[in-house]
Amino acid sequence: MAERGPNEALTHRVPRGRREAIAIRNDAIKEGVVVAQRLEGKRVAVLVANEGIEQVELTEPWRAIENAGGRPELLAPEGGTAQAMNHLDKADTFPVDKAVGDADPGDYDALMLPGGVANPDSLRASPQAVDFVRAFVDAGKPVAAICHAPWTLVEADAVRGRTLTSWPSLQTDIRNAGGTWVDEEVHNDHGLVTSRKPDDLPAFCVKMVEEFAEGKHPVHS
């Protein structure tokens, strides 16, 4: 499979009806709220495992960040490439900008965590990835996570006392970790932006960019 940048692969291997919907939604994002909330000068860490990312949950937020003037960078436990998926089928591979162990959380303004079942489960087993996520939460920097991605937040002890949403099967894990789970299209808790599934991406991208533009929030205690 050829390597592609996340923006290049936005519509690749996506069913036609969904592809058209994505294009319409991204046009709306580009022309609407996302452009109004500028991200010039802001670096956004996009943290994934080297395999198992849900492709559309990587490419749509990536494009929204770029459309708002931000600079997303793809980080993973290992350098090289990251293999994305369309549900259970292999999709594109993406070049990793930097191994997470070589990245300094202080160099980034915000963190975005795509979903995919295998992706966050793999990240949970990487102490460097978990510590990287925790550093953003401890610093009050905005974090956006969609679908299964809050699994990594649970591992980083980042949901205690917070309210968030996710893919429904994670709700018990979130509650057991001290968080409050809600069934909402998108939920924002002091810069922690979460959504449930790919269908929520339009609302997720708008709120994500809004919070990334706002910047640091008071550290949650």
Check residue 48 and give its pLDDT.
Answer: 99
Task: Check if 147 is active-site.
Answer: yes
What value does the mean pLDDT take over residues 125-130?
Answer: 98
**pLDDT more than 70, % of the chain:** 82
Check residue 218 and give its pLDDT.
Answer: 84
How many beta carbons lie within 10 A of that of residue 127, not counting itself?
11
In the set 148, 187, 205, 217, the catalytic residue is: 148
Check residue 13 and give its pLDDT.
Answer: 38
What value does the mean pLDDT take over residues 145-167?
Answer: 98
Check residue 7 and give its pLDDT.
Answer: 59
More confident residue, 32 or 56: 56
Structure tokens belonging to residue 205: 């991208």
User: Average pLDDT of the chain?
Assistant: 89
What value does the mean pLDDT take over residues 5-34?
Answer: 48
Digit-coded pLDDT (tens) for 169-190: 999 999 999 999 999 999 999 9
Confidence of residue 9 (pLDDT cuts 50, 70, 90): low
Domain residue limits, the chain: 38-214
Is residue 4 over pLDDT 60? Answer: no
Rounded distance between C-alpha atoms, residue 123 and residue 178, angstroms: 20
Confidence of residue 14 (pLDDT cuts 50, 70, 90): very low
Check residue 32 and give its pLDDT.
Answer: 47
pTM of the model: 0.85
Is residue 27 over pLDDT 60? Answer: no
Check residue 38 and give its pLDDT.
Answer: 87
* 38-214: CATH class: alpha beta
Task: Check if 205 is active-site.
Answer: no
Digit-coded pLDDT (tens) for 36-89: 458 999 999 999 999 999 999 999 999 999 999 999 999 999 999 999 999 889
Radius of gyration of the chain (CA): 15
Rounded distance between C-alpha atoms, residue 197 and residue 53, angstroms: 13
More confident residue, 143 or 31: 143
Could you tell me the CA-to-CA distances from 150 to 69, 118, 140, 171, 173 in Å, in that order?
26, 12, 17, 10, 9
In the set 12, 87, 147, 220, the catalytic residue is: 147
H helix and E strand count, the chain: 8, 12
